[in-house]
Structure 1
Amino acid sequence: MKSTTILSAIGILFFLASASIHAQQERILTPQEMEQDITFYFKQLRKLHPNLYQQYTSAQYDSLQKETINKCTVSLSIQDFTRILLTLNRYTDGHTQILTNHIWPKPVKSYYFPYFTIRNTSAIIGKDQVISVNGIPVVNIIQEIQQICSTENNPKLNESNINFYFPLYLSTFYSVAPPYYITLKDIPTGKIHSDTIPAKSLWHTAPIPFQFKFFPDEAIAILFYNSCNLSRNQMNEFNRALNLGFQQMQKQNIQYLFIDVRNNGGGNADNNELIFRHLKSSKYKGTYKVKHNMHLIDSIVNNAVRGNRIFLKQNGTNFWKSFLIKRKIRKIEKQIPQALATGTEFRKEKYPSRKKGFEGKVFLLQSRETYSAAISLCESVRQRKIGIIVGEEGGQPIIYSGNIEIYHLPNSKISFSIATTYNWYEPAIPTKNGFLQPDIEYDVYNKDLKIEDYKKIIQLSNALKRQ
């Protein structure tokens, strides 16, 4: 039937995925199977992670492994086993995580619950503290969800994550579905009162990766850059969209460009360079360092050497090209002894100043949900003095472990990710507690910004220039 709507199609896909995953969840795991899975997980962490002991010691991970095994002394469903494993996520970086796809397939169907801020383990909405939902103490749910959020993350991002998972935990683990009957305490007076939140279904789907919006009368353009995770076809489309978008800006005499990465959770940082080709920038010179797990460094070096030889064979088509490539390879391979000894490789980076590009003023909007490769974009904007950063702290420190690989536990088949590299630049740019600070603080999180907001930010930037 041709009149099937997008939402109904999503609903069909969700039903099929849910049915398959529900069947998997029904399978019961023995204590021996769960111990094998837990042992496998910690073995992989030690064997593959580039910087596992940055925050916790080897002995602490040994203790955590034993503690997790001791929680699984009776047979459990895969769903309940996943629930236990998720609490390990607070002890690893934001890219090294037990994944939730076995219990909450994408697209995720959830329910509306008003956003609450977190004070310790209390949920605050306005001047009220939420005490319970359908008789379930809220503090119990928040304490559990806090355990699945990496301590590497910005606390504001973890607050956002708790809000995301809150209705999912209510429905999955507490059998609580809307309407929600909530008990509240008025903080100033201490009085207890009740309220009802009607049922409202939500679909959590990936945003459109990129999109332009123009306000020619105000000389403003916005590039919504919502994901760095682009396929090859999407990269080509993005490149074409950028070419057309910047041509349009020139025709419309756009003076202010806002690059919006508030909802960008990362992907491939190479895609960021497609944007930078269109922007003026200052000269940048630094050293990019990458740390690998010592168990893997031999194979990484050998693969790199083979790759260099293949590149030379394919591209050294004449004497001069061959000479230049060989010279570059010699410089790179001089680092091999240090890489083998320390597990760390480095490369000098030089970005010349770019005199051609967009003639107006550039603003970068970041929020607590800006993450991974999007954080790298913000770092590059600051390093190369491309524009003004607006909003709040990003969701992740600018120095982080990334470039994930996905694995599966042998018995439960639960998925987990492990970062493969730990990356940083020298000299480091100034941060606060590792987080890049905006030049202009502005309330941008979860907001539908209006033209008045963009004009206000422009005014604030003019005042910033005078300081």
Structure 2
Amino acid sequence: MFLNDAGLSNIVIPKLKPITFMKHLLSLFLLMVFNHAFTQSPAYITTDKAIADIEQLIATFENVHYNPYFKTSKKVINTIKDEQLSSWKNDSVPMRQFIGICMKLTAMMSGGHSGMNWQHAKLIPEIKAHVYLPFTGKLVEEDGIFIVTKSGLSVIVPGMKIKSINGISVVKLFKECMAYSGGIDAYKIANVERAFPVYLFFNDSLKAPYSIAIADSDELFTTDGIRIAELAKILNSSVKQVDYSFDILDNNIGLMAYNSSNNYKKFNQFLKATFKTIQAKHIDKLIIDIRANGGGNSSLNDLLLSYITTKPYQQASGRYWKVSEESKKAYANNKVYTKLFGKDFMVKYMKTPNQTVIVDLDSTGLVQPEKPPYYFTGKTCLLIGPSTFSSANFLADAVKTYQITTLIGSPTGEYTNDFGEQISFVLKNTKSEVNISSTYDIGANGNDSIMAPVYPDIEVATDVLKYAMNWLENNAEKK
């Protein structure tokens, strides 16, 4: 049994309605408001109300989350919280500072699904008025370097290594920003890379103008920075535009980009058309790329797998449902939960005592795929990476566990056993929105104590697609 620090008792309710594992990834959206002047009006909240909301935040996590202290102990979190609260000597604190500490506390209790929504209405004037760093990049941990991946400056280009900004180590700044994001380090790095300048908004140590030191050089470059609208264009460049697509590479290799597990009916139609094309064009090699897939509805994964395997498998082996009064109210107020999990289960949940756990290990079972028309008999591989998350992580886990095909790339951004089913709550005083996971989902192999991501069969850090193409041509065996 997975260790639960809260000391909860478990109630076993066998043979519940089969679960559709719906996962929701908290996406980082940029606020873009163009029709107002750039006037900064810092928002404040009274200190006593800020403290009350932080206490509510932690108490709600303890009530709702299966195990909020799975990676950071309660003692450590309380110490960090108390140090922050004791530093507030004035009658009020900046809303930006309040949101920042809530993001950090939430991240320490999050596997990636739980999170604090930083886009508070009272922060909009400051978000608009702030002057942002005009580039983002990734942290290469093993080398301890920061590499630019997107830039709005002609002198700072992708691939360039940056040493410091305003005399502060950029690696140090990046790691500080990672503290705002939940999940394992690989996921944090990928998440911060997508919006590094936005995370820096919450860091008081860095302000425009920005003096940028290039690595392995004495050269310094200074920029005044950019506004949110221009930054959004940079960060959103090269962002995937479609949930799934298909291309033919080198006239004989199919490439399916499976970027989002959304819209079952549409995906079913897409798969039928795609595999019909594959058969018509006599393509016998297929790359399935889920490196950008942040999740959705795992039932779509079953559709996909039916075209490439006849092996029995399961994407998950069970679920532990934390029962709380907060979750009961959320479930009662949203009919989608009854639709997803069934009326009988919802009745059982409502009648189950709070602060206990419903153990559902009998409702999944192995899936026996049935061959659809245009079933694929050629060579396949699956590309994974740190942005492979949530329901996409389920897919990678099933493929790995049951050896359905070969995984190529980097470890996924989430543990195979993870926390799901977000429920949204609003803090009483600031009206800040918080999303908290309410279940603990067990991976494909059924071992509920594993805390590890899905590792690829072949680890490749760069030029993953090129490697996969060469591998299919030269080394792959039929799957």
Which category describes the TM-score, using the shorter chain as reference length? 0.7 to 0.9
Aligned to 1:247: 276
Q: Give the 3 Å change call, closer, same or farther, for CA 294–121 of structure 1 in structure 2.
A: farther
Matched residue SS, 2:294 = coil
Q: Give the 3 Å change call, closer, same or farther, for CA 98–410 of structure 1 in structure 2.
A: same
Aligned to 1:224: 257
Of 78, 82, 101, the residue aligned with 1:84 is: 101
Q: Give the 3 Å change call, closer, same or farther, for CA 181–448 of structure 1 in structure 2.
A: farther
Q: Give the 3 Å change call, closer, same or farther, for CA 289–95 of structure 1 in structure 2.
A: same
Instruction: Work out the CA distance in 1 between the residues paired with 2:446 and 2:406.
Output: 18
Q: Give the 3 Å change call, closer, same or farther, for CA 162–226 of structure 1 in structure 2.
A: same
Q: CA deviation at 1:433?
A: 5.8
Q: CA deviation at 1:66?
A: 2.9
Instruction: Work out the CA distance in 2 between the residues paired with 1:337 and 1:224.
Output: 42
Aligned to 2:116: 98
One-letter identity of the residue aligned with 1:204 = L
Q: Give the 3 Å change call, closer, same or farther, for CA 397–454 of structure 1 in structure 2.
A: same
Tell me if the contact between 1:281 and 1:353 (Cα under 8 Å) persists in the aligned partners. Answer: yes
1:130-172, CA deviations, whole angstroms, 9 ceiling, x for partnerless residues? 442134443552342132233x41x333333343443234566
1:30-55, CA deviations, whole angstroms, 9 ceiling, x for partnerless residues? 10110111011011101111222323
Instruction: Work out the CA distance in 1 between the residues paired with 2:82 and 2:449.
Output: 37
Instruction: State the TM-score, normalized to the length of structure 2.
Output: 0.71
Instruction: Work out the CA distance in 2 between the residues paired with 1:114 and 1:354.
Output: 44
Q: Give the 3 Å change call, closer, same or farther, for CA 390–460 of structure 1 in structure 2.
A: farther
Tell me if the contact between 1:367 and 1:394 (Cα under 8 Å) persists in the aligned partners. Answer: yes
* 1:196 matched to 2:250: no
Instruction: Work out the CA distance in 2 between the residues paired with 1:30 and 1:392.
Output: 45
One-letter identity of the residue aligned with 1:80 = Q
Instruction: Work out the CA distance in 2 between the residues paired with 1:147 and 1:249.
Output: 45
* 1:117 matched to 2:134: no
Tell me if the contact between 1:39 and 1:65 (Cα under 8 Å) persists in the aligned partners. Answer: no
Instruction: Work out the CA distance in 1 between the residues paired with 2:143 and 2:109.
Output: 21
Of 144, 156, 181, the residue aligned with 2:186 is: 156
Unaligned 5+ runs, structure 1: 1-11, 187-191, 313-328
Aligned to 1:213: 246
Aligned to 2:165: 133
Instruction: State the TM-score, normalized to the length of structure 1.
Output: 0.73
Q: Using CA pairs below 8 Å that are at least 6 residues apart, which structure has the higher relative contact order?
A: 2
Q: Give the 3 Å change call, closer, same or farther, for CA 353–286 of structure 1 in structure 2.
A: same
Instruction: Work out the CA distance in 1 between the residues paired with 2:353 and 2:59.
Output: 26
1:350-397, CA deviations, whole angstroms, 9 ceiling, x for partnerless residues? 222545521212211111111111101111222443321111100111
Instruction: Work out the CA distance in 1 between the residues paired with 2:222 and 2:456.
Output: 35
Unaligned 5+ runs, structure 2: 1-29, 149-157
Matched residue SS, 1:218 = coil
Of 56, 63, 66, the residue aligned with 2:82 is: 66
Aligned to 1:326: none
Q: Give the 3 Å change call, closer, same or farther, for CA 73–269 of structure 1 in structure 2.
A: farther
Q: How many residues align?
A: 413
Matched residue SS, 1:53 = coil
Of 179, 199, 202, the residue aligned with 1:147 is: 179
Instruction: Work out the CA distance in 2 between the residues paired with 1:112 and 1:127.
Output: 12
* 1:440 matched to 2:458: yes
One-letter identity of the residue aligned with 2:45 = L
Matched residue SS, 2:300 = helix
Tell me if the contact between 2:65 and 2:322 (Cα under 8 Å) persists in the aligned partners. Answer: yes
Matched residue SS, 2:212 = strand
Instruction: Work out the CA distance in 1 between the residues paired with 2:421 and 2:139.
Output: 32
Report the more deviating stretch, 253-262 or 136-145.
136-145
1:257-276 paired onto structure 2 within 5 Å? 257-276=286-305
Q: CA deviation at 1:29?
A: 0.3
Aligned to 1:182: 212
Instruction: Work out the CA distance in 1 between the residues paired with 2:145 and 2:411.
Output: 22
Q: CA deviation at 1:417?
A: 1.2
1:302-317 paired onto structure 2 within 5 Å? none
Q: Give the 3 Å change call, closer, same or farther, for CA 17–63 of structure 1 in structure 2.
A: farther
Aligned to 2:471: 457
Matched residue SS, 1:242 = helix
Report the more deviating stretch, 258-267 or 127-136.
127-136
1:261-314, CA deviations, whole angstroms, 9 ceiling, x for partnerless residues? 1111122222222322323231236972211224369969x999x969x979xx
* 1:37 matched to 2:53: yes
The CA RMSD over aligned residues, in Å, is 4.4
Q: Give the 3 Å change call, closer, same or farther, for CA 384–49 of structure 1 in structure 2.
A: same
1:11-30 paired onto structure 2 within 5 Å? 14-16=32-34, 26-30=42-46
Q: CA deviation at 1:454?
A: 4.1
One-letter identity of the residue aligned with 2:469 = K
Of 348, 353, 359, the residue aligned with 1:344 is: 359
One-letter identity of the residue aligned with 2:361 = F
Matched residue SS, 1:363 = strand
* 1:403 matched to 2:421: yes
Matched residue SS, 1:88 = helix
Tell me if the contact between 1:171 and 1:177 (Cα under 8 Å) persists in the aligned partners. Answer: no
Instruction: Work out the CA distance in 1 between the residues paired with 2:31 and 2:147.
Output: 35
Instruction: Work out the CA distance in 2 between the residues paired with 1:237 and 1:419.
Output: 28
1:81-136, CA deviations, whole angstroms, 9 ceiling, x for partnerless residues? 21222222441221122233336889xx9732454424697647899974421344
Tell me if the contact between 2:394 and 2:416 (Cα under 8 Å) persists in the aligned partners. Answer: yes
Aligned to 1:5: none
Matched residue SS, 1:343 = strand
Report the more deviating stretch, 56-65 or 235-244.
56-65
Q: Give the 3 Å change call, closer, same or farther, for CA 387–431 of structure 1 in structure 2.
A: farther
Instruction: Work out the CA distance in 1 between the residues paired with 2:48 and 2:295.
Output: 37
Aligned to 1:316: none
Tell me if the contact between 2:138 and 2:146 (Cα under 8 Å) persists in the aligned partners. Answer: no
1:303-357, CA deviations, whole angstroms, 9 ceiling, x for partnerless residues? 99x969x979xxxxxxxxxxxxxxxx99xx9xx9999975322225022254552
Aligned to 1:417: 435
Q: CA deviation at 1:429?
A: 7.8
Instruction: Work out the CA distance in 2 between the residues paired with 1:216 and 1:139.
Output: 37
One-letter identity of the residue aligned with 2:367 = Y
